[in-house]
Structure 1
């Protein structure tokens, strides 16, 4: 047996739960901050650019190929064989210089495919190159990468430039410079748009092109790289407009290491999943080139935004890592604490009763209230998790969707709190939305924390719900430590669906009811219907039966104790049957006032079409009031026709009227039924039901102990 000494392990559990919450906060906070930066592709590019922003290099200061900045990632890997072979085929060695060889490479990319169709390729170097020359695909970045790979094979130094339209995000352009060693100068090519730039002295560098664009130099010219290939722009004016749009947001890529990038294992693995993942993997492994922004007043705000992102990202990453570590550590500690918590709860824990309370009064609410009160009177530690508490704040109850959200959120938070220290969770369950909203979250919390779980199912529509409902309903029921139903009827339904269940009947607090002896006044009997005014209770049949009774007893009266959506229709029916003056709609009656109504009644009618174990019939039994009921659902297991009352077919007003008249006209028969029913009610007294529930709580705990393998250590 596990021995627990010292303070309650729940104190330690509480500290680790707070650690868990802090971990979630440390994880979620950076994710929420980063979320706007990753929703769109241009935002992800901006985030990437912030990560690689290099403030140590000023692109306005030019440098020769032989003396790059220290942070420039110069390619050290040899060129791929496919590019070396293509350089040989192009005969570049026979061309006079780097510029002529560069034009040949660019012309090869622009002219090999029959048609250039465009579109991003986003693949590795060799596939990108093949799709350009064979299929004519590719955007500016694809052409630049392929050009630089071929230039590397031809031993021509390169560097790439870009400009943006959206604050250094994903919208912009990229082009490439080659180092012309004999001339000791850089020369710029816009391969994708099939142009280079010139004035009187020949091809210009990026610095010269930029200066000319800003100065609106009239001598600046665009010349075609491959005259027979398609131009980037048919109209020169459109091209100049394009270049001028990006003239204030220039930047330089600090690297030509495309082969090293392409061969990095992490890049290849993540590249098959996502382009963004590939780029972030390259950054993490150090093969992604840095980005240097050309300082300008017009781009100062966008530049500053990247700086802030770059500063914040390490802090956010640290928060995320710390949160994950704390979550893992908390999970491990809580796992090790579980045996100690379970042992402590078995010895000192409370019963957590989950269900509704009046108002409104109803079968489940009344049973929950009685069980809670009677358990407390027996000295059992019991707490209630109410699933129909008053709305807080009260005004939310007037807003249809909001009130459901507020109540459910409060309910789940309360469940998390109340399950701590519980030795067993006892959920009163019903079908439909009530199951999904009130049973499902608490049951999963209990199972997740290893707390014994009893599902006390009470829905008359059980067969339909288990047959037609989601599969997870049956799975959850099968995982409960005990399934309890109040009737043999529901036990049979569960067995039909392969689920065992114990029977613990509903409770009737006999001390609240005084048994009377039937003594019907010759001319003025009082009939009682104590069901809510809902379609499944078919109160219209009871009213029609009463109308027939009135034909024999003109002074008879009917009390309808309940409320619901059918009220107006039922009142209209009374008008049509000309019995409105004899029918009293008492509305919703408090549970405490029901014994007084039964003392007034000479006969109880129940016309329900779907039912399990109606509390109203049990209350009539305890009050000595004879009952006529339909034979719906589990009622025949409760009321034995001809001994404790009379049963009639569902929806048969004539049969119900005939049975009612039989009892009203035969006092001896009514008294025999009354005595037998009162004796039957003793089976549902607290003295009979109490040991069943106390034993069920113990068995649920034993079942959970048997199901859970012990951990080697349970120290707090």
Structure 2
């Protein structure tokens, strides 16, 4: 059985993806990993055997057990069939500490790994670290065969701190499946927010902007996501916006897709982001996007062409942008059409997965070359 597994490993690339919650998990990176998962199911790549392991789980108090189980699975898979590459999804804070352990185990087992940085807060986290944590971050990146980032802003962050990694950084913005979307000519304009409800996503400014346009009777809004759901519902009631604004809580993939198909505008007034999946999904659906120029968003949202950019923590500017889109259906349609065209060129999941497979193959070949050189040097010494 052992030999059979290793014979398969020689002909196929065995890849393990380490992701926080697993299939259907709440959060952008799990949605991105689900997009990859679904693409492999619908269009299998014969050269890749792909597995996912969760490193945190839904219950944060059980995360040490989930992490231990993930490590045991990695050890078992390496022993039984061999792992060619581990794909490590990296965020800030405790996620980083968990990934330090995953990377250390991968190195101990001599498995090459790729780091996929997806946190908008990682720069602040890195800057706040000193001593041992900072050293672990440097080791994590330095031992990676490649580091995938979502935009130039994150490439610049890594190169500034670790210039020797410049030739190992690969920029790969989040991607999604193509979607069909019809522009709505009748009824109220539907505004959609998708994300974790709370201050950092600009929920306070968003509700303030809704108050500023409440005199208009041509719009409705949905604020969907996890986080401060109850608190947001209470605030909506207190502001007298309950007839206009619904707060359904977390939606699964089918629910998110349904809301995107119904919507006309996606709004995301965040204080901090990396490259949120909801904006890429809005592009796929042809929605007009209103967002803040944080993280890698200015790299994909071109003001007045594929969306409208508004300053962070500026409710009047947000209200003005929403008011423009409510008043001007031609502008909504133009932004949505151009965003959808941009998605087809840059953010389609099939092309993304093909490139990702190339990254995994490159990481595996790099490790084989290193091992071959090591073997040659050992033989020469003898």
Q: TM-score, normalised by structure 2?
A: 0.87
Q: What do residues 337-371 of structure 1 show as CA deviations (whole Å, max 9, x unaligned)?
A: xxxx8x98454441111113244432111111121
Query: What residue is the counterpart of 1:110 in the other structure?
Result: none
Aligned-partner Cα distance in 1 for 2:97–2:77: 19
Aligned-partner Cα distance in 1 for 2:231–2:328: 33
Q: Identify the match of residue 648 of structure 1 among 310, 314, 319.
A: 310
Query: What residue is the counterpart of 1:550 in the other structure?
Result: 214
Q: How does 1:534-545 map to 2 (within 5 A)?
A: 534-545=198-209
Query: What residue is the counterpart of 1:378 in the other structure?
Result: 45
**1:428 pairs with 2:110:** no
Q: Is the 8 A contact 1:354 1:425 kept in 2?
A: yes
Query: What residue is the counterpart of 1:636 in the other structure?
Result: 298
Question: Cα offset for 1:433?
Answer: 0.1
Structure-2 change in CA distance of 1:519 and 1:596 (3 Å): same
**1:618 pairs with 2:283:** no
Question: Cα offset for 1:8?
Answer: 5.4
Aligned-partner Cα distance in 1 for 2:196–2:234: 17
Aligned-partner Cα distance in 2 for 1:9–1:378: 23
Query: What residue is the counterpart of 2:174 in the other structure?
Result: 506
Query: What residue is the counterpart of 2:66 in the other structure?
Result: 407
Aligned-partner Cα distance in 2 for 1:588–1:417: 34
Q: TM-score, normalised by structure 1?
A: 0.48
Structure-2 change in CA distance of 1:520 and 1:497 (3 Å): farther
**1:417 pairs with 2:76:** yes
Query: What residue is the counterpart of 2:245 in the other structure?
Result: 583
Number of residues of Structure 1 aligned to a counterpart in Structure 2: 362
Q: Secondary structure at the match of 2:374?
A: coil
**1:492 pairs with 2:156:** yes
Q: What do residues 128-168 of structure 1 show as CA deviations (whole Å, max 9, x unaligned)?
A: xxxxxxxxxxxxxxxxxxxxxxxxxxxxxxxxxxxxxxxxx
Query: What residue is the counterpart of 2:101 in the other structure?
Result: 441
Q: What do residues 208-234 of structure 1 show as CA deviations (whole Å, max 9, x unaligned)?
A: xxxxxxxxxxxxxxxxxxxxxxxxxxx
Structure-2 change in CA distance of 1:635 and 1:346 (3 Å): farther
Q: What do residues 521-576 of structure 1 show as CA deviations (whole Å, max 9, x unaligned)?
A: 4xx2221111111332121211211222222x235221111121x23332333234
Query: What residue is the counterpart of 1:694 in the other structure?
Result: 357
Query: What residue is the counterpart of 1:594 in the other structure?
Result: 256
Q: Identify the match of residue 197 of structure 2 among 533, 540, 544.
A: 533
Q: What do residues 297-343 of structure 1 show as CA deviations (whole Å, max 9, x unaligned)?
A: xxxxxxxxxxxxxxxxxxxxxxxxxxxxxxxxxxxxxxxxxxxx8x9
Q: What do residues 176-232 of structure 1 show as CA deviations (whole Å, max 9, x unaligned)?
A: xxxxxxxxxxxxxxxxxxxxxxxxxxxxxxxxxxxxxxxxxxxxxxxxxxxxxxxxx
Q: Is the 8 A contact 2:218 2:326 kept in 1?
A: no
Q: How does 1:359-370 map to 2 (within 5 A)?
A: 359-370=24-35
Aligned-partner Cα distance in 1 for 2:123–2:238: 36
Aligned-partner Cα distance in 1 for 2:8–2:218: 64
- Calculate the aligned-residue CA RMSD, in Å: 2.4
Q: Identify the match of residue 680 of structure 1 among 338, 342, 346.
A: 342
Q: Is the 8 A contact 1:352 1:418 kept in 2?
A: no
Q: Is the 8 A contact 2:15 2:51 kept in 1?
A: yes
Q: How does 1:448-467 map to 2 (within 5 A)?
A: 448-467=108-127
Q: Is the 8 A contact 2:271 2:294 kept in 1?
A: yes
Question: Cα offset for 1:453?
Answer: 0.9
Structure-2 change in CA distance of 1:585 and 1:464 (3 Å): same
Question: Cα offset for 1:389?
Answer: 4.6
Q: What do residues 619-641 of structure 1 show as CA deviations (whole Å, max 9, x unaligned)?
A: 11111111111111111012111
Structure-2 change in CA distance of 1:344 and 1:497 (3 Å): farther
Q: Is the 8 A contact 1:627 1:646 kept in 2?
A: yes
Q: Identify the match of residue 481 of structure 1 among 145, 149, 159.
A: 145
Q: What do residues 248-285 of structure 1 show as CA deviations (whole Å, max 9, x unaligned)?
A: xxxxxxxxxxxxxxxxxxxxxxxxxxxxxxxxxxxxxx
Aligned-partner Cα distance in 2 for 1:650–1:508: 26
Q: Is the 8 A contact 1:598 1:623 kept in 2?
A: yes
Gaps of 5+ in 2: none
Q: Secondary structure at the match of 1:580?
A: coil
Query: What residue is the counterpart of 1:29 in the other structure?
Result: none
- More off after superposition, 416-425 vs 583-592: 416-425
Question: Cα offset for 1:663?
Answer: 1.4
**1:707 pairs with 2:374:** no
Q: Is the 8 A contact 1:516 1:625 kept in 2?
A: no
Q: How does 1:296-315 map to 2 (within 5 A)?
A: none
Q: How does 1:35-74 map to 2 (within 5 A)?
A: none
Structure-2 change in CA distance of 1:674 and 1:518 (3 Å): farther
Aligned-partner Cα distance in 2 for 1:442–1:495: 23
Structure-2 change in CA distance of 1:349 and 1:689 (3 Å): closer
Structure with more contact order per residue of length (Cα contacts < 8 Å, sep ≥ 6): 2
Q: How does 1:217-232 map to 2 (within 5 A)?
A: none
Q: What do residues 447-470 of structure 1 show as CA deviations (whole Å, max 9, x unaligned)?
A: 122222101111111211222232
